Amino acid sequence: MRYSKTKKRERRHRRVRAKVQGTASRLRLSVFRSNRFIYGQIIDDAAGRTLLGVHSVAVSSDPKAKKSASKSDVARATGRELARRALEKQIKRIIFDRGGYRYQGRIRAFAEGARDGGLEF
């Protein structure tokens, strides 16, 4: 039985989530990547609530953003924006949940942008 790309990613994500749990002191940063956009959420698993989220649609529609920016550049800017919002809410330490994606390309750029913005993981 062959699995689609989505099913395989969901299986990898379940494997990652078995090991990655956010706590009250160290919240979970979850990433979702579509073909065009990238989304990030900071989640408190103990309470089962999403504390904040950001997506590349809002960042790329910013008038200061370059129109010819690559997807990786947009992902890095999205990570920085998430970090800025998290620091406003006094969230500094997180655990990174790559969502079943390989740690390369846009996922890596997003994580580096969040680190550049001041988050620790």
The two structure tokens encoding residue 83: 């970090």
Q: How confident is the model at residue 64 (pLDDT cuts 50, 70, 90)?
A: low
The CATH number of whichever domain residue 11 belongs to comes to 3.30.420.100
Kindly state the average pLDDT of the residues 28-37: 95
pLDDT at 62 over 70: no
Identify whether 121 is part of a domain: no
Work out how many domains the chain is built from and give that number: 1
Identify whether 93 is part of a domain: yes
Identify whether 55 is part of a domain: yes
Task: Tell me the residue range of the domain where 47 lies.
Answer: 5-116
Identify whether 26 is part of a domain: yes
The two structure tokens encoding residue 23: 């706590």
Distance CA 92, CA 119 (A): 5
Identify whether 57 is part of a domain: yes
pLDDT at 95 over 90: yes
Identify whether 89 is part of a domain: yes
Identify whether 66 is part of a domain: yes
The two structure tokens encoding residue 64: 């200061």
Instruction: Work out the mean pLDDT of the chain and round it to a whole number.
Output: 90
